[in-house]
Amino acid sequence: MSYLNRSLSRRSLMGLGLSSLGALAIACGGAASPTAAPAKPAEPTKPAAAVTTAPAATTAPAATKPAAAATGAASPAASAATPAAAATGAAPAATKPAAAASPAAGASPAAGASPAAGATAAPAAAGAAAAEKLGVAKDKVPKSSKMVLYSATVQEQTAKRIDAFKAWVKKNYEADVDVTHIYASTVEGFNRARGEMANPQADVLDTTNDLAIQAKRIGLTQPYKIGSFDTVPGFARDPEGFWYAPTVSVFVIDYNTETVKADEAPKDWEDLIKPRFKNKLILRDPTQSGSGGTIVLGFLALYGEEAGKDFLYRLDSQVGGKYLENSTQTVLDVGRGAADTLIWNEAYSLQVKYQQNFPNVGVVYPKSWMLAEMTTTNILKGAKNLVPAQLWIEWSMSLESAKLNAQNFSRPSRTDLPAADLPDWMKQTPTDKLPVVNLDAAKLEEKRKDWLALWSGQIKGKGADYVAKNPNPPKYELKKDFVLS
């Protein structure tokens, strides 16, 4: 049994308490054989036809037909929850893939995320959501208030979250909240909030977990313990309540099924550095994107700095030194044929495939291991609208929000979501069946500045020259240096 498998056996997915979790690596080597792609949540009464994806790669069940196009998909930093529809499709057998169809099939929950992924929810009594304890007393909530949110979720998706939040406030407090969303990438939003510390212009910041840890350290955020604090898994919240993680983002490989043949489709990370994908790969700039940073830090941490640098040089060669600055381009560029393949997150990949009607986006879960990160929501220190900000946190971590997240292809961190509320795309390949290893977020945070500087100064734009001098890649092996025991 690998140390990855042993790591999982020591951690029950229902009882983990990793409050410092920043990024996750998910090893798929011990998982069941490839499963069908998750069904699109569109018509609750119709089962989806199961399909498989690229050979040997874990993939997602296909939908019976594309969902009505959603005008924009959530960025990895803040996957939006939309009541868009209940998922459909019968769960495939765990021991063999469904009959082959298109190699693209969408994404698989088998790529699971953190223990928070909610894949196998603990049984919950009917009406559990209605019985959740609220941390803000009704008499403390003004009848009318406002709030400003910095989030990397695109406007259209955030609008759905805001509508659900406002309805929740109305139902529970008989009050109205006017929410202003200001879009910014995870890094941009963090830097903007930090620059405004003396006079905060926002109340809530949605960002990645590693940046949330940094925000706490520099005094950018303030603690708040929600009413249901004890029901939230330890890995999905700061022990003092400085940050909460409603969802987990799992990184996958996307590819265009019209330009990449089934037998050429990438099945694992090392396939991306093959000559077939020279100048055909898309990556985000890790200095501009928290998720892009997670990818870079992950390879350096798990392969070791020297082998990690080698791999990043080879990825840079495939990208041609050009990195996207806008997260909305990523999966859309693959779907539109601007590139053949991409490393990005599960939620946005599925949202583009099914909600924006790009059935040619194939989603592969690498067969060796996977990276993931948690999406967090934080109250900024000195927030001018504290009560509505607290309500936002309460709603974000509620079972009602978790259900909406799941319906929108975002893995909720709540593990007590009633089984009846789990969409089929999560039931088909439950994440708690996968071995999970956790990276030490605090230790990674210590390396972030140096490793991003290393990438900017030594790697970016220099991959082609490096590969010309070093044509043969080394053997990449997972290291334990940054793995929590």
What architecture (CATH level 2) is domain 3-121+251-372+428-439?
3-Layer(aba) Sandwich (3.40)
* Count of CA atoms in the C-beta half-sphere (13 A) of 223: 8
CA distance 76 to 206: 11
Angle at 14 between CA 8 and CA 20, to 5 degrees: 70
Give ranges for CATH 3.40.190.10 in the chain: 3-121+251-372+428-439, 133-247+374-427
- Report the distance separating Cα 271 and Cα 314, nearest Å: 11
User: How many CA atoms are closer than 13 Å to the CA of 347, on its beta-carbon side?
Assistant: 35
Q: HSE-up of 204 (CA within 13 Å, CB side)? A: 30
Contact criterion met (CB below 8 Å) for 170 and 176:
yes
pTM: 0.75
| pLDDT in the model for residue 435 | 44
Cα angle for residues 219, 147, 242 (degrees, 5° grid): 30
Of the candidates 358, 136, 130, the residue with the CA atom closest to the CA atom of residue 226: 136
| Integer Cα distance of 380 and 357 in angstroms | 37
Which residues on adjacent β-strands are paired with residue 324? 284
Are residues 219 and 381 in contact, defined by beta-carbon separation less than 8 angstroms? yes
CB contact at 8 A, 30 and 5: yes
What single letter denotes the amino acid at residue 318? Q
Q: Say if residues 300 and 447 touch (Cβ distance below 8 Å).
A: yes
Instruction: Give the pLDDT of the chain (485 residues) as one tens digit per residue.
Output: 333 333 333 333 333 333 334 444 544 443 333 333 455 544 433 333 333 333 334 555 444 333 333 333 333 333 333 322 322 222 223 333 333 333 333 333 333 333 333 333 443 333 444 468 899 999 999 999 999 999 987 777 788 899 999 999 999 999 999 999 999 888 899 999 999 999 999 999 999 888 999 999 999 999 999 999 998 999 899 999 999 999 988 789 999 999 999 899 999 999 999 999 999 999 999 998 888 888 999 999 999 999 999 999 999 999 987 898 777 789 999 999 999 999 998 888 988 998 899 999 999 888 888 887 888 999 999 999 999 999 999 999 999 999 999 988 888 988 888 889 988 878 866 666 654 567 787 788 889 999 999 999 999 999 999 999 999 999 999 999 998 76
Question: Homologous superfamily of 133-247+374-427 in CATH?
Answer: Periplasmic binding protein-like II (3.40.190.10)
